[in-house]
Structure 1
Amino acid sequence: MQLRRTAGLILALVSMTVLATAVTGCGAEPTPKSQTGERLPPLADQFKRARGQAKSDFERDVWDRAIKTGKIDPADYEETHSRYRRCAEDAGYRETYTRTPAGLYRVDPPVGLDEDKTAFDTYMKATEDCADSSGLMRVEALYNTQISNPDLLADPKALVVQCLKKAGLVQADYTPEKFDAFMKSNFTTGDFDPMHEEAQKCFAGSGMAINAPQGNGNEPGQNPDPVENGK
């Protein structure tokens, strides 16, 4: 099993956490969310907070539209991602982008970077700067919340489990703790097929990119075709 939280989604998850903390004003260590059922702040509040962190007039316009309509326009997400891609390409990096079933993009680093820690760290810093300056760091986080987490669940594992139940892939008594144990088993306990198309949608909606190898007792589902930068 290979569990990947790719660069763009890592940044999105971090951004979402920062935004939620800033809006709620919580500074203390929180009680584990899977036990409290904690919710994120309303999207309207998160949009307003994100606007205050915007780095360009373009991004401020995105948030103004979102605040007015109550949602991020898909076209604004696409344009924000295009700006990120151009920035990464200008920095010399040819990433691979895969559209997930949820409608977001998974980002895979250029081949071979993982063999050189210094080069990888430099790449991560450069693409983090691109995600920030383009607005993708904030727009993708809240766009993902908008389309995949209407109940504003704060625990990603709880969000996955809720989605799996709706898809009929697990029983009603399935818990985030059981899902956590399933991941730690390298998906060998047979709870459900992690490569099922609906399961992949659930993972993507929570910011996870999971590839389980064949031979673990599960039949893989269809995976989306990758889209390379510049094509």
Structure 2
Amino acid sequence: MNGHVEVRSVVATLMIVVMLGLAGCAANGSSQAGQSAPSVQASSDCGGGSSNSSAQGQRLASSLDDYICQASTWKDISEKQRKILQEARANHGVTTAQYERAWSDFRTCLINRGYKSFDLIKFPNGVYKMPLITSAPTEAQQNKYYSDYTDCLQEEVMGIDAVFNKQVGNPSLYREPEDGVADCLRRENLVPKDYTADTLRKEHSARKYEHFNIRDMRVRGCFAANNWNVNFADEGAADIW
């Protein structure tokens, strides 16, 4: 192990992704939940994903507006988020203020359910993620947290987060996270212009990143914006219990 814990979530049916095996590598047996967007059939009013099978990969939608439209139809999000996403579609994107408010409300939602105050991780590109958290004292508390996390995620931030992440970290709307991360790293001049998703896959498989510093918060911001969270055990974990 090289001291980091990854929680990787891709577009799938709604779930809380908790990589308990990997989390065991973190300090104090910490674990992290990663949010993912639900996979649903796009409304007839929304554009569908691209079937382009080129080297650049398939797309989630034909445009950001179409992706926002799809997100606004996800059955698991609250009406509160749905209204914000409908407004975002008209304005061609989620604003930073809307995004930050959603994450603030998500944090407040958890604290109001009895968890200790904690700080969110903010990356240089403006993306927020949950910190690693220490293991719950009991299995019952851990299960309650999973339930509360899901409820707060669906109520406050899931759809808004998905759209904002695409805006800053995957504007080409690549379906595969490796394509999105590689594109983000290139756009941020953190890797050579010929760096590809296949190169990233090889480096990740070997756990040897030769083209960038995996601890660089700008690099981690590109990963986070594509729902691929990289955390390090020596950075500590939040005790929310």
TM bucket normalised to smaller: 0.7 to 0.9
- Which residue of structure 1 aligns with residue 58 of structure 2? 38
- Compared CA separation, residues 83 and 32, structure 1 to 2 (3 A): same
Count residues in correspondence.
209
Contact kept? 1:149, 1:159, Cα under 8 Å: yes
- Compared CA separation, residues 35 and 118, structure 1 to 2 (3 A): farther
Secondary structure, counterpart of 2:39 in structure 1: helix
- Which residue of structure 2 aligns with residue 90 of structure 1? 112
The question of 1:171 aligning with 2:192 is answered yes
Larger helix proportion of the pair: 1
Contact kept? 1:96, 1:110, Cα under 8 Å: no
CA apart distance, 1:87 = 1.4
For each residue in 1:138-173, what CA deviation from the matched residue of structure 2 results, as whole angstroms up to 9, or x when unmatched? 110111112222211111111111222234443344
Secondary structure, counterpart of 2:120 in structure 1: strand
Contact kept? 2:166, 2:173, Cα under 8 Å: yes
- Which residue of structure 2 aligns with residue 142 of structure 1? 163
**Equivalent residue in structure 2 for 1:180, among 191, 196, 201:** 201
The code of the aligned residue for 1:10 comes to: G
The question of 1:205 aligning with 2:225 is answered yes
Gaps of 5+ in 1: 215-222
- Which residue of structure 1 aligns with residue 12 of structure 2? none
- Which residue of structure 1 aligns with residue 215 of structure 2? 195
Gaps of 5+ in 2: 9-15, 17-31
Q: Distance in 2 between matches of 1:33 and 1:156?
A: 15
- Which residue of structure 2 aligns with residue 219 of structure 1? none
Counting only pairs closer than 5 Å after superposition, residues 18-167 of structure 1 correspond to structure 2 as 18=39, 21-22=41-42, 37-41=57-61, 42-52=63-73, 53=75, 54-56=77-79, 58-94=80-116, 95-113=118-136, 116-134=138-156, 136-167=157-188
The code of the aligned residue for 1:50 comes to: A
Query: After TM superposition, what 4+ stretches of structure 1 lie above 6 angstroms from structure 2?
Result: 6-9, 30-34, 226-229
Q: Distance in 1 between matches of 2:183 and 2:58?
A: 14
- Compared CA separation, residues 162 and 59, structure 1 to 2 (3 A): closer
**TM-score if structure 2 supplies the norm length?**
0.70
**TM-score if structure 1 supplies the norm length?**
0.73
CA apart distance, 1:132 = 0.6
- Which residue of structure 2 aligns with residue 218 of structure 1? none
The code of the aligned residue for 1:131 comes to: L
CA apart distance, 1:33 = 7.1
The question of 1:10 aligning with 2:30 is answered no
Bigger shift: residues 71-80 or 43-52: 43-52
Secondary structure, counterpart of 2:198 in structure 1: helix
CA apart distance, 1:111 = 2.4
CA apart distance, 1:125 = 1.9
CA apart distance, 1:34 = 8.3
CA apart distance, 1:31 = 9.1
